[in-house]
Amino acid sequence: MVDYDVSQGVCVLRLNSPPVNALTFALVEELRAAVRRAGSDPAVRGIVLTGTPTHFSAGADVNLFRELASAAAPAAGAERMARVFQEAFQEVEDSPRPVVAAVAGRMMGAALELAMACHFRICARGATFGMPEVHLGILPGAGGTGRLPRLVGPAAALKMLLTGEAIDADEALRLGLVDEVCDGAALLERAGEMARTACTPRRTSRLTAKLADAAALAEADKLLSKGRPEVIAPRKIAEAVRAGIAECFEAALQREQSGFAECMATAATRSKIHVFFATRETGKVPELAGAEAAEVSRAAVIGMGTMGTGIAQALIAAGIPVVVRDEDEAALGRGMERVRRSVERRVEEGKLSPDGAGRMLGLLSVTTRWGAVADADLVIEAVYENVATKRSVIAAIEAACRPSAIVASNTSTLSLDVLAAGMRRPERLVGMHFFNPAHRMPLVEIVRRDGAARAAVATALKLAKSLRKTPVLVRNREGFLVNRIFIPYLKEAFWLLEEGAAPEAIDAAMTEFGFPMGPLALSDMAGLDILLATDRVLSGAFPRHGALSAIVARLVEQGCLGQKTAAGVYSYAPGDHTPRPRRETAELVRQVQAGRRVRPRAFTPDEITRRLVLRMACEAFYVLEEGIALRPSDIDAATVLGTGFPDFRGGVLRYANDLGLGRVRAELETLARDVGERYAPPESLAKGR
């Protein structure tokens, strides 16, 4: 696992544990022994630690975190893991021979901690560096909170540690994280020279020049005050950094060990780890094993509205040439301008070079001609959510394109069987439901209808991955997975409004639960007309869902569609999407209550949360029972990525499981009796299966 080679006074230790050199206990112990051996070898003047020419290490083996999260005593296991890694990396730093890390590719987590334990660091151009542990609800456990501030200063260190954001090689050099950046071909040669000529080891843990920045710790306290109390990792990171500055490096190590253990003992961290692995599993589809996915070398999008523009931007960001066809030249112009502004913002933020922006924009062309899409390998229709419109567009795509072209519909609710009616090659039709904004949202539902070619579905799945999206394969049924679960949640919020809960109370309860937005503010953002139209499809397919509160139809009749009309449930100032209380909505609610003879009452935050979350859970169990999703974890991943369900609660089914299925079943039965049959649990849950 660690190759040992000595030449001209330099010992090259090469991590050799395919495919990604993940750091396991065994690899770390072997590395420790190799460093000890090189340190006592009289033929060795310096040591170079490296990986493959393009990849150093993926960091700690993520399966270790899954094992810890499911262990009977996760805290004890976490403390042991931190101690083993810390001691091994300290042995690297304590080596009497200069140790140079020669790194390429992505340097994340424990891989970066290992490099920081080396005395010098040189990287290939294109390398990236980050400490993403906070996204899993944990903190670095191998010395990162102590060494990173000593190399880059507390402010830059805390930014990397608390946000999990990566930096590129140039930024790493500017901050002092690496000593040199070179071409990949020269990496080992330059590292060997550095190891041979270095007079003495430069031990990172003893550096103090950059630690005098008390303001950075105060700024960290401000960030922490905005965090979730359930997620303790950010606080533990700040505590370890503070201890390493105010006390000593060893104090940071002690705080890392205890903090790592405390984090792993929390439900929030274990839920985050569950979501991490759930998102990795979604792309594994046994039924597509052996299916030959085609290469999409050129794509087309039909429709340059909001969704079509976002999809086109996602395609060009992945380096795929795309032509967008729309019959409206003005829409094409507006769409091109939106893409241009978005790309320019990325340049301004330092996320894209001017040359890269030019190359991206050069991949996008627009047209009103159908003939321009003839060479596309895959065509995505992103037109208005209307059966007749989509059928007409799909027919035009078939007429314009090669027989081998795949037709993908971005429908969010309509059955693909309905859209496939009349197609000459219905086996080439798949669903690719992107979420708005399509170039930023990480989820894509891949919809497979009975009779769809396996290769077509596999191609859509592969394309979604190439766009750096998380694909979730779903069976063809109205609403698919996300909208099937999420629309009932939004509808229930309007029923609570009709029953007497204040809009602000409803939204506050759900943001307190962990959603990024409340359901009523989100409905305003999406458009109340869209909610109304979507519900018509879903309530027609699933009568059990019940009606939508008359409040929505009344608002739409009045032209109050949400943010786009500056009035919906809330009112909005020009250019400001902050929701404000709206007197007219309160009056409309009173009218609806009077017409339906509703006696309004107040609701506690817990009652609101219970109603809304259990409505989602109820529908999720139906989705699972009907085989819409392949596995329960797919539903968890989709609800986190597609609805904003808080990841620290693990997704809707994980959350229900943590509550206890017996309790959930009993509460759903009570709500079905007291509120409505829409809460009736599915047969499998009702019978306790």
pLDDT for 688 equals 60
In the beta sheet, which residues pair with residue 323? 300, 365
Using pLDDT thresholds of 50, 70 and 90, give the confidence band for residue 214.
Answer: low
- Contact between 456 and 427 under an 8 Å Cβ cutoff? The reply is yes
pLDDT for 228 equals 84
pLDDT in tens, 123-173: 999 999 999 999 999 999 999 999 999 999 999 999 999 999 999 999 999
Q: What is the mean pLDDT of residues 433-448?
A: 96
pLDDT at 360 over 90: yes
Share of the chain above pLDDT 90, in %: 93
Query: Is 133 among the catalytic positions?
Result: yes
Name the active-site residue from 30, 93, 113, 381. 113
User: In this predicted structure, which of 296-305, 350-359, 377-386 has the lowest mean pLDDT?
Assistant: 350-359
Using pLDDT thresholds of 50, 70 and 90, give the confidence band for residue 616.
Answer: very high
Q: Quick one: CA torsion of 507, 510, 515, 519, rounded to 10 degrees?
A: -40
pLDDT at 575 over 70: yes
pLDDT at 689 over 60: no
pLDDT for 217 equals 74
- Which of 82, 89, 51 lies closest to 64 in space, CA to CA? 82
Share of the chain above pLDDT 70, in %: 99
- Contact between 16 and 44 under an 8 Å Cβ cutoff? The reply is no
**Rg of the chain's alpha carbons, rounded to an integer?**
28
pLDDT in tens, 649-673: 999 999 999 999 999 999 999 999 9
Query: Is 584 among the catalytic positions?
Result: no
Fill in the DSSP letter of residue 140: -
624 — alpha (psi -120 to 50), left (phi > 0) or beta?
alpha
pLDDT in tens, 398-429: 999 999 999 999 999 999 999 999 899 999 99
- Which of 300, 119, 294 lies closest to 204 in space, CA to CA? 119
pLDDT in tens, 287-316: 999 999 999 999 999 999 999 999 999 999
CA 674 to mean position of chain CA atoms: 37
CATH numbers and ranges of domains, the chain: 2-265 (3.90.226.10), 296-476 (3.40.50.720), 483-686 (1.10.1040.50)
Using pLDDT thresholds of 50, 70 and 90, give the confidence band for residue 684.
Answer: confident
Name the active-site residue from 133, 256, 445, 619. 133
Other C-beta atoms within 10 Å of 132: how many?
Answer: 18
